[in-house]
Amino acid sequence: MSTVTTNTSWFSRIGSSVKGVILGVLFIIGAIIFIFWNEGRAVQTYESLIEGSSVVNSVSAENINSANEGKLVHFSGNTTTSGVISDAEFLISSESLRLRRIVEVYQWSEKSSSKTTEKLGGGTETTTTYSYEKKWSDQVISSANFKEAETHQNPNEKLFENKDIVAQSVTVGAFSIPEDMIKNLSGWTQLPLTQEMFNALSYEEQEKINVVSNTIYYSVVDPTKPEIGDTRIRYEVIPVQEVSVMGAQSGNTVIPFKTKNNQTISMINVGNISAESMFEGAIEGNKILTFIFRIIGFLVIFIGFNMILQPLRVFVSVIPLFGRIVGFGNSIIATIFTLTTGTVVIAIAWIVARPLLSFVLIGLVVAGFIGIAMVGKKNPVVEKVTKEAKQSQ
């Protein structure tokens, strides 16, 4: 663990905050474009799902009806494969839909925490504490930029890479399921491993393998006391099981179904799921994704407005208390501007698709401004200032 203290002058902070204004404007513009795109995407996705739910045909997977060629079909059934899938490097095989190898390396991880204190005169003092811990990670953690790089060095690469193997010939009844669709399946389970499974490897390789709790420790002296650079390997599978599929029938397979607004529908779920439930899940997923993207967009707008207002805060921070008061005020102003900007952008994006709702949102924004103005007029301080201003004229 180490601690570093840095000082920033008031003039440097002023310069940085002025530069931040430009970046703040770019943040707001980018967020507005992002929110506008997200609302359009959400509406188009919803419309395509509604269209799909009205034309889908639930069919038997056992027989292919040529009359459904090009139409949106839904079917359920047990998956079958033509054979096993395997990892040739370790001779691990499984009769499953997907098999993935997860390779983890024991490495150093750096964490940092900072505390900034404003000083009289407008400068700041920042104290940063760096701490280190050892952990398993399936990604190489670069130690080149560690604060204590010399004493916390990680390997530059892994002995083996992660691997995801997909079954090539998967069928459900008479239908062949495309590989791209199988890649969308989830529901991984751990593949049991035993020491005997590696007897076919060379003696030299067998000596490097130690299986503990379904995990391969490769060239590790003591699995209970790993050292930096040690490697361990796990395998997970998605087993052969019943699935529900939806897409456009194309010969003996299914492809993405194109809707009238040029969106596509292609779904696969584990289990016997009705078409109605699959569409309900997709619509709910679209709502959640839309909400998450909105939050991201609003957050970026808030950061942008805060950056634009930051020079004012820095300017008065020669007295730290004043800086904190103005900073609090900036946050309130940024919040109001963020909610207003974001709501208006959403309303504009919905004018074509949902005009009634867009006008309601715009009305709420206008009502909000009127409410703020009325509250301001009723404020005793505001009334006093206004009265004195009239008397002085």
Residue 392 forms part of a structural domain: no
Give Cβ neighbours of residue 267 (< 8 Å, ≥ 6 apart): 244, 245, 246, 247, 278, 282
CA–CA gap between residue 344 and residue 357 (Å, rounded):
12
CA angle 368, 370, 372 (to 5 degrees): 70
CB 167 within 8 A of CB 96: yes
Domain endpoint, select from 243, 272, 301: 272
Whether 230 and 311 map to the same domain: the answer is no
Integer angstrom CA distances of residue 307 from 33, 239, 333, 335: 19, 51, 12, 13
Domain endpoint, select from 239, 272, 305: 272
For residues 198-208, one letter each, b for 16 or more C-beta atoms within 10 angstroms of the residue's C-beta and e for the rest, the string is beeeeeeeeeb
Integer angstrom CA distances of residue 132 from 110, 161, 318: 5, 25, 36
Residue 386 forms part of a structural domain: no
| pTM score | 0.78
Residue 253 forms part of a structural domain: yes
CA–CA gap between residue 186 and residue 171 (Å, rounded):
17
Whether 36 and 184 map to the same domain: the answer is no
Give the largest Cα separation in the chain, rounded.
Answer: 100
Q: What is the pLDDT of residue 392?
A: 46
Domain endpoint, select from 246, 272, 298: 272
DSSP 305-352: HHHHHHHHHHHHTTSHHHHHHHHHHHHHHHHHHHHHHHHHHHHHHHTT
Whether 230 and 106 map to the same domain: the answer is yes
CA angle 276, 279, 280 (to 5 degrees): 85
Residue 110 forms part of a structural domain: yes
Q: What is the pLDDT of residue 393?
A: 45
Residue 390 forms part of a structural domain: no
Whether 235 and 376 map to the same domain: the answer is no
Whether 162 and 257 map to the same domain: the answer is yes
Structure token pair of residue 145:
């930029």
Number of domains observed in the structure of the chain: 2
Residue 109 forms part of a structural domain: yes
Whether 307 and 375 map to the same domain: the answer is yes
Whether 65 and 39 map to the same domain: the answer is no
Question: Does the pLDDT at position 18 exceed 80?
Answer: yes
pLDDT band of residue 10 (cuts 50, 70, 90) is: confident
Whether 64 and 173 map to the same domain: the answer is yes
Whether 81 and 221 map to the same domain: the answer is yes
Of 174-178, 223-227, 342-346, which range is least confident?
342-346
Range of the domain at 167: 57-272
Residue 224 forms part of a structural domain: yes
Residue 123 forms part of a structural domain: yes
pLDDT band of residue 6 (cuts 50, 70, 90) is: confident
CA–CA gap between residue 333 and residue 25 (Å, rounded):
15
Whether 268 and 291 map to the same domain: the answer is no
CA–CA gap between residue 159 and residue 90 (Å, rounded):
13
Task: Provide mean pLDDT across the span 7-36.
Answer: 90
Whether 39 and 61 map to the same domain: the answer is no
Whether 214 and 80 map to the same domain: the answer is yes
Question: Does the pLDDT at position 379 exceed 60?
Answer: no
CB 216 within 8 A of CB 197: no
